[in-house]
Chains A and B, each alone.
Chain A
């Protein structure tokens, strides 16, 4: 009986010990970091730039942001030095984006992201992006295109990129997974600055591709879309097909890319079938087709043009020796033994892998008015 009584408070005590890092902290005593940028300074110093929420209260809530830059030996060192500048401890639980400058990314991105990966507060779903041509801190210091918070609007536009499919939507945990597994090369969205009227606003453009943890090159929008096709991440967006001088916009209604692994004579062979469903949405120029001819023609042309795009991006990836499509993962899932055999020398193996690409574009229906507007006489 006495033994039993001893066991009663045990769960309560254990709850204290097993609980994670938390503490009583009032909301108005913390500096909420909504976005961060990492740059390389002189003498291997890191420059951490943060966008902090600056809320003035009362009946009318006014939200603005403050951008601060701190230098430190490591990212975490800079994070702690932030206290001396801001006076409050930063709160990383609501951080939406992390911008890494090209310089840091080319050197080794792990250095920049490891704080965010290991810290208790930072979320795994924050967006990681690479700044092109400009320093990362310049992006955070630029003008806000919409709303009050720059990081928020950047994160929003990345979230809405699903209607465009021209940037990869990479979160911290996908990047971590990619880096750890080695079976796929990460591709991060690229952010750069654009001058509009008297404002300089950040825009997303294409992707930065990595080999292991080092950045090795850029993809433009078209290439990014082709990459997403091969990763089977396309669910919508626009496919533009050229017909002579005219252009036809197809709205993608669905896509299914299947990658099968074949092993012939110990030689790996990838069998990729891309099946896209799309509807005609816009016709410009004046393609001289009859209705049936037109459907057939558009289908044939779209397939050809999409296939050439896909082949181009595969060639580019091969050139960089970066498996941005995750073929390694497919090989591992299909034939783990084979993967362990080639994994030591996978980059070279990837460059020589045989790919058999089949593209079908299905056009189930068209718009009611499919002919180009003809001017009256």
Chain B
């Protein structure tokens, strides 16, 4: 009885809180309409109320030397602004310049905006919400006594990371710049590569608390409208507290969020983004994240590396083939080895069987269990290595290779072939970094299936994976596009990288709006 009562009370309080929340929201809405007044002091008070308990917000009052009745105040947040800029371009002209000839003007604020402030971006606004956001985003607010509007003066200036070579997707040949956390820098990196007015940037703000800026980038006339509309719909639907990385958005706009295969692409490299935009894709840049998203994203993009296009096409094709084979190997090798050794011994050549049975002699664990354990240990090492400081990382390597590689075999804890299989499978996972998330899990699923059913289990798994891949789409584009067909221009950029003079068309569906990329360059 008591428990029930308690439960009821809890439910009731919860209901109350929800009601209260509603009320609070209502009050906030009411405040929004409560805009600035004509009195400077009151305006300052309104803003101070808003930023109560935040001492990084600085209110600086001053007057003009020649026209002391021009009382004004600038508001900005320390750390978000460029001090030199504020001193030289905002305070100095307003203090030192002779404003007497403006004294007769009917709209002093307008004149200050037009004739006094030597700043590139000044905006007039009376929307309190907009003003608050501007302050938070590094603008300086200029308030003038006697006016109920404020000037939003651009003064952003915070420490940004320099453009460095990205950690992921390193190349031997090709541009070495990578995106940073600063959205404007990232946009400039893209803009620098496509000098074309058709390149469009559409800004949005997402995240109720963080107000994160995101930017949709595409080339008008190449990108598909249907994809753009879908993307905007999905972005508008997002109702989230905060966005700390583009990964949030990737998950929220993905077609198959339960699938471990990525249906939204991401990259740290501007050249990759530009190449994808040129093929008709749309990029989403998120402030604060060096990873730019691209949609639609199909499976074959995972094995396309920017360097393929910079190297000789035969070498590029070979590398791509290696990547494709490796990603199949990484999920198959442990499962097939297990199936052969424990179910289908007749498929092993006699000589190999002899050496296998010799190495298995005296090993206590069954092959299936030792494979699963070794693969788990490999993943533990991988995860440990990823988070460790570089100095400690080496220790992990040594411990991993020595302890697992040699000592375990010599102590007869696992057999040598299991180590070899784990090593091959582990190395081949790393070859396609964007697929690691799915391949690591699939490897275990296939391994377990084949430990229960042998090769039958393995093939059931492969068939299910294939069906899954065939069933998903990314923004209306089939995920397996151009992998399953070899005709015409379907296959020219999938299993191989065709020479540039033959790649006259953009990929099907994605580039359908403007299919012809170039006329043939063959002499």
Identify which of A12, A34, A61 contacts B350 (C-beta below 8 A).
A34
Interface string of B327-353 (1 = CB under 8 A from A): 000000000000001111110001001
CB distance from A61 to the nearest CB of B (A): 4
A57 and B360 form a contact (CB under 8 A): yes
Identify which of B343, B350, B354, B361 contacts A25 (C-beta below 8 A).
B343
Q: Which residues of B in the span 421-463 have a Cβ within 8 Å of any Cβ on A?
A: 451, 453-454, 456, 460
B474: chain A residues at CB < 8 Å are none
Show 21 A/B contacts (Cβ-Cβ < 8 Å), sorted by A: A12-B460, A15-B460, A22-B454, A24-B342, A25-B342, A25-B343, A26-B341, A27-B345, A27-B353, A27-B356, A28-B363, A32-B350, A58-B358, A58-B362, A59-B410, A61-B358, A62-B358, A93-B345, A94-B353, A121-B346, A152-B350
Asked if A53 lies at the interface with its beta carbon under 8 angstroms from chain B, I say yes
B354: chain A residues at CB < 8 Å are 32, 53, 55, 61, 63
Alpha-carbon distance between A23 and B456 when the two chains are bound, in angstroms: 12
Decide: A26 near B366, CB < 8 A? Known: A57-B358, A94-B350, A152-B350. Answer: yes
A152: chain B residues at CB < 8 Å are 350
A123 and B342 form a contact (CB under 8 A): no
Closest to B359 in A: A57
Q: Which residues of B in the span 146-173 have a Cβ within 8 Å of any Cβ on A?
A: none
Alpha-carbon distance between A55 and B367 when the two chains are bound, in angstroms: 18
Asked if A267 lies at the interface with its beta carbon under 8 angstroms from chain B, I say no
Decide: A25 near B345, CB < 8 A? Known: A57-B357, A96-B350. Answer: yes
Alpha-carbon distance between A219 and B468 when the two chains are bound, in angstroms: 63
Which of B343, B346, B358, B360 has its CB near the most chain A CB atoms (within 10 A)? B358
B359: chain A residues at CB < 8 Å are 57, 61
Asked if B188 lies at the interface with its beta carbon under 8 angstroms from chain A, I say no
Interface string of A112-132 (1 = CB under 8 A from B): 000000000101000000000
Asked if A56 lies at the interface with its beta carbon under 8 angstroms from chain B, I say yes
Closest to A27 in B: B357
CB distance from B451 to the nearest CB of A (A): 7
Closest to B368 in A: A24
Asked if A30 lies at the interface with its beta carbon under 8 angstroms from chain B, I say yes
Closest to A23 in B: B343
B361 and A58 form a contact (CB under 8 A): yes
Interface string of B281-296 (1 = CB under 8 A from A): 0000000000000000
B361: chain A residues at CB < 8 Å are 28, 55-58
Asked if A19 lies at the interface with its beta carbon under 8 angstroms from chain B, I say yes
Closest to A155 in B: B350
Interface string of B131-145 (1 = CB under 8 A from A): 000000000000000
B346 and A93 form a contact (CB under 8 A): yes
Alpha-carbon distance between A53 and B451 when the two chains are bound, in angstroms: 26
B346 and A26 form a contact (CB under 8 A): no
A25: chain B residues at CB < 8 Å are 342-343, 345
Pick the 9 closest A-B CB pairs, nearest first: A57-B361, A93-B346, A61-B358, A57-B358, A28-B360, A55-B358, A27-B357, A94-B350, A55-B357
Asked if B397 lies at the interface with its beta carbon under 8 angstroms from chain A, I say no
Decide: A57 near B362, CB < 8 A? Known: A28-B357, A32-B357. Answer: yes
Alpha-carbon distance between A16 and B456 when the two chains are bound, in angstroms: 9
CB distance from B338 to the nearest CB of A (A): 10
A63: chain B residues at CB < 8 Å are 354, 358
Q: Which residues of B in the span 346-393 have a Cβ within 8 Å of any Cβ on A?
A: 346, 350, 353-363, 366-368
B451 and A24 form a contact (CB under 8 A): yes
B345: chain A residues at CB < 8 Å are 25, 27, 30, 91, 93-94
Alpha-carbon distance between A24 and B340 when the two chains are bound, in angstroms: 10
A58: chain B residues at CB < 8 Å are 358, 361-362
B363: chain A residues at CB < 8 Å are 28
CB distance from A50 to the nearest CB of B (A): 15
Identify which of A15, A19, A26, A59 contacts B360 (C-beta below 8 A).
A26
B410: chain A residues at CB < 8 Å are 59
Q: Which residues of A in the span 245-265 have a Cβ within 8 Å of any Cβ on B?
A: none
A26 and B454 form a contact (CB under 8 A): no
A15: chain B residues at CB < 8 Å are 453, 456, 460
A34: chain B residues at CB < 8 Å are 350
B346: chain A residues at CB < 8 Å are 93-94, 121, 123
CB distance from A197 to the nearest CB of B (A): 28
CB distance from B372 to the nearest CB of A (A): 14
CB distance from B494 to the nearest CB of A (A): 29
B460: chain A residues at CB < 8 Å are 12, 15
B366: chain A residues at CB < 8 Å are 26
A22 and B341 form a contact (CB under 8 A): no
Alpha-carbon distance between A56 and B359 when the two chains are bound, in angstroms: 9
Q: Which residues of A in the span 38-64 have a Cβ within 8 Å of any Cβ on B?
A: 53, 55-59, 61-63
CB distance from A95 to the nearest CB of B (A): 10
Closest to A148 in B: B354
Decide: A32 near B367, CB < 8 A? Known: A27-B345, A27-B360. Answer: no
CB distance from B314 to the nearest CB of A (A): 40
